[in-house]
């Protein structure tokens, strides 16, 4: 056998991802704010792209607006219709789903409906290819909203209470107190005020202590109670903070029943508290979640879906400008213009594909969870990424990217799209049940316990089995502990009972 160099030919297959393909995949995962920043970067690099900032009038060569929404019915989901353009500049218009047939002579190659984008709550700039955004996320400490969201997920596995907690979080002002009365929030959520107050009392002990208070006196009282300093004299002082502001110490001593030295110590104790726990944690007010997908009931019992058009810019390709410049340009300039027009065409197609995919996934979720939207959390069905991907004939990773960091506004509140993907529990009749719906049912049974009728985990499991849910006692105990609900013995002690029912 001879040893030496030789030349061999081999045929191999490999997946080559171009920079444009990588960016198109990333666009699915970006929020609207991130897509907006990406478009801003493109505007700086590409003179053939122009932004229309929502003026009342459009150029004659821009594409006209079409209807901005379409029904989602149990029979199927309508794909978004295209927006027709003329031979001049192609524009990006407001979001819509439409089942009408566009003119046959319309040019769709450079048209994208900007309003069908999504929206989010985080911004970042820089070049997407080179920006170390993962490092930036790791270096940035969590803000007050993120800090409280983590505590909400741990404190309220029950979806009903978590929805109330999310509404309270969105009502916080810059100081960390509620900007709206609890009764108003309860009325907007259509929940009993007692249930909302029970959730708020737990959230008052979140870190930082005193957030979600209705006023300054309550904020300070919670902090004092945590330090075991909320005695009757201190409660009287908190009830007369107006006298303290006027420095009417004589009247304060009479109402609190203390002498001058004790009053001085009590005032010093108040000064060591934080009257604005939210302001010390965050540099500014909490930014509320802006939904990516807007959902509302339709006239025929169906649902209307559209992507939020408020946060996406309206973009057009300046084809007229391109034609004028190319007519008298040098060879190098023509090559530059050819590259820029190709990049602009790719941007239109990528944004159109992103919008279409988000709408299709959102429509499939809404159809699958129709019972939840109509009747409540007890009708939430099990759903996986694989099921949605199979129904839409797309890859499972695409569904994961589309639902990542996306929020949908529904008649029942604002939810992350990941919320609707839950594991399944087998039913006695072969029908599966959502684990989240089962947790909600366990919490409801415990809340409905009569005095002297505390239910053990075994009793809860038997009640659920009678309702057609195949669940073991250990699973009931696991769900109960995850919701931080005490066991039956502790609940008996809290009710003042002395024995088993």
Which residues, at least 6 apart from 351, have a Cβ–Cβ distance to it below 8 Å?
A: 27, 35, 92, 112, 114, 117, 315
Q: What's the rounded mean pLDDT across residues 187-194?
A: 87
pLDDT digits (tens, 9 = 90+) for 354-391: 888 888 998 898 888 888 888 887 778 888 888 889 99
Would you say residue 129 has pLDDT above 60? no
pLDDT of residue 429: 63
- Greater confidence (267 vs 107) lies with 267
How would you label 178-198 residue by residue, b for 16+ Cβ within 10 Å and e otherwise? beeebeebbeebebeeeebee
Cα separation, 122 vs 33, whole angstroms: 7
Kindly report the number of other CB atoms within 10 A of residue 17's CB atom: 10
Least confident of 124-138, 351-365, 439-453: 124-138
What does the pLDDT average to over 130-137? 48
Which pLDDT does position 122 carry in this prediction?
Answer: 38
390 or 494, which is more confident: 390
Phi and psi dihedrals of 294, rounded to 5? -105, 130
- Banded model confidence at residue 110, pLDDT cuts 50, 70, 90: very low
Distance CA(480)–CA(474), nearest Å, equals 10
Contact in structure between 203 and 165 (CB atoms under 8 Å): yes
- Terminal-residue alpha carbon distance, the chain: 90
Q: Give the number of other Cβ atoms within 10 Å of residue 175's Cβ.
A: 21
| 81-90, 270-279, 451-460: least confident range | 81-90
Whole-angstrom Cα distance, residue 234 to residue 252? 11
pLDDT digits (tens, 9 = 90+) for 58-85: 343 333 332 334 344 433 333 333 323 3
With a cut of 50, say whether residue 90 has pLDDT above it. Answer: no
Lowest mean pLDDT across 40-44, 468-472, 474-478:
468-472
**The pLDDT of residue 89:** 39
pLDDT in tens, 158-188: 888 888 988 898 888 888 888 888 998 888 8
Residue 54, phi-psi category: left (phi > 0), alpha (psi -120 to 50), beta (remainder): left
Q: Which residues contact 392 (CB under 8 A, 6 or more apart)?
A: 360, 361, 364, 399
Strands (DSSP E) along 427-497, which ranges? Answer: 433-434
| pLDDT band (50, 70, 90) for residue 281 | low
Encoded tokens for 239 = 């009830």
- pLDDT surpasses 80 at 324: yes
Instruction: Report the relative pairing of strands 70-73 and 76-77 from DSSP bridges.
Output: antiparallel
- Average pLDDT value for residue range 471-493: 80
Burial pattern 349-370, b for ≥16 Cβ within 10 A else e, equals: bbbbebbbbbbbbbbbbbbbbb
93 has pLDDT over 60: no
- Beta strands 407-410; 293-297: pairing state: parallel
Mean pLDDT calculated for residue range 399-418: 85
pLDDT band, residue 135 (cuts 50/70/90): low
pLDDT single digits (tens) 224-236:
988 888 888 889 9
Within 13 Å and on the Cβ side, how many CA atoms surround 337?
A: 18
Distance of CA 183 to the CA centre of its chain: 24
User: What was the pLDDT predicted at 291?
Assistant: 83
Q: For residues 49 and 347, is the Cβ–Cβ distance under 8 A?
A: yes
Band (494; pLDDT cuts 50, 70, 90)? low
Per-residue CA distances from 481 to 52, 75, 439, 474 (Å): 53, 40, 11, 11
Using alpha carbons, list the distances in angstroms from residue 409 to 129, 288, 304, 313, 370.
Answer: 32, 13, 11, 21, 14
Separation between Cα atoms, residue 445 and residue 463, nearest integer Å: 9
Structural contact between residues 80 and 355, judged by C-beta atoms closer than 8 angstroms: yes
Give the alpha-carbon dihedral of 257, 259, 261, 265, to 10 degrees. 10
Strand (E) or helix (H) holding 40: helix 32-45
Phi/psi for 469 (5° steps) reads -105, 115
What the block records as the tokens of 79 is 């794909």
- For residue 495, the model assigns a pLDDT of 61
Provide the pLDDT for residue 15.
65
- Of residues 461 and 84, the one with the higher pLDDT is 461
Name the β-bridge partners of 296.
Answer: 304
Say how far apart CA 327 and CA 323 lie, in whole Å: 6
**Structure tokens that stand for 75 in this block:** 């029979």
Higher pLDDT, 55 or 19: 19
Q: What is the mean pLDDT of the chain?
A: 75
Mean local confidence (pLDDT), 23-32: 79
**Share of the chain residues as helix, strand and coil, in percent rounded to the nearest 5:** 50, 10, 40
Token digits for 37? 């920043």
Q: Distance between CA 234 and CA 497 in Å, rounded? A: 33
Best CA proximity match to 200, nearest among 156, 144, 235: 156
Q: What is the pLDDT of residue 290?
A: 77
Residue 85 burial (C-beta neighbours within 10 Å; 0-12, 13-18, 19+)? buried
């Amino acid at each position: 056998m001879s040893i030496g160099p030789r030349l061999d030919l081999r045929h191999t297959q490999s997946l080559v991802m171009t920079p444009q393909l990588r960016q198109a995949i990333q666009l699915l995962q970006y929020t609207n704010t991130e897509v907006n920043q990406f478009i801003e970067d493109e505007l700086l690099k590409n003179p053939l792209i122009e932004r229309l900032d929502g003026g009342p009038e459009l150029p004659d060569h821009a594409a006209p607006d079409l209807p901005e929404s379409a029904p989602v019915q149990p029979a199927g989901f309508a794909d978004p219709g295209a927006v027709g353009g003329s031979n001049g500049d192609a524009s990006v218009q407001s979001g819509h789903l439409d089942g009408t047939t566009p003119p046959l002579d319309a040019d769709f190659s450079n048209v994208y409906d900007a309003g069908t984008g999504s929206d989010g709550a985080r911004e970042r700039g820089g070049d997407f290819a080179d920006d170390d955004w993962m490092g930036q996320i790791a270096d940035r400490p969590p803000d007050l909203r993120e800090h409280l969201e983590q505590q909400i997920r741990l404190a309220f596995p029950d979806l009903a209470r978590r929805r109330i907690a999310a509404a309270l979080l969105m009502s916080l002002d810059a100081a960390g107190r509620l900007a709206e009365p609890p009764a108003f929030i309860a009325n907007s959520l259509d929940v009993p005020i007692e249930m909302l107050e029970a959730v708020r009392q737990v959230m008052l002990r979140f870190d930082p202590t005193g957030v979600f208070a209705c006023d300054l006196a309550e904020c300070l009282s919670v902090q004092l109670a945590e330090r075991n300093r909320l005695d009757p004299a201190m409660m009287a002082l908190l009830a007369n903070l107006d006298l303290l502001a006027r420095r009417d110490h004589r009247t304060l001593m009479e109402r609190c029943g203390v002498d001058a030295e004790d009053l001085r110590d009590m005032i010093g104790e108040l000064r060591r508290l934080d009257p604005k726990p939210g302001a010390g944690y965050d540099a500014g007010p909490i930014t509320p979640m802006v939904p990516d997908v807007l959902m509302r009931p339709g006239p025929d019992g169906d649902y209307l879906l559209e992507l939020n058009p408020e946060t996406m810019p309206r973009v057009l390709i300046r084809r007229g400008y391109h034609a004028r410049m190319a007519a008298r340009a040098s060879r190098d300039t023509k090559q530059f213009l050819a590259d820029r027009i190709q990049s602009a065409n790719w941007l239109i197609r990528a944004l159109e594909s992103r919008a279409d995919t988000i709408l299709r996934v959102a429509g499939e979720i809404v159809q699958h969870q129709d019972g939840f939207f109509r009747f409540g959390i007890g009708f939430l069905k099990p759903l996986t990424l694989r099921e949605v991907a199979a129904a839409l004939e797309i890859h499972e990773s695409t569904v994961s990217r589309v639902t990542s960091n996306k929020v949908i506004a529904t008649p029942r509140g604002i939810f992350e799209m990941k919320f609707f993907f839950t594991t399944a529990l087998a039913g006695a009749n072969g029908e599966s049940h959502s684990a989240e719906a089962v947790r909600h049912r366990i919490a409801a049974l415990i809340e409905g316990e009569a005095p002297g009728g505390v239910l053990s985990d075994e009793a809860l499991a038997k009640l659920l089995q009678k309702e057609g849910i195949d669940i073991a006692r250990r699973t009931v105990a696991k769900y109960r502990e995850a919701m931080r609900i005490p066991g039956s013995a502790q609940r008996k002690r809290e009710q003042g009972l002395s024995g088993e029912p």
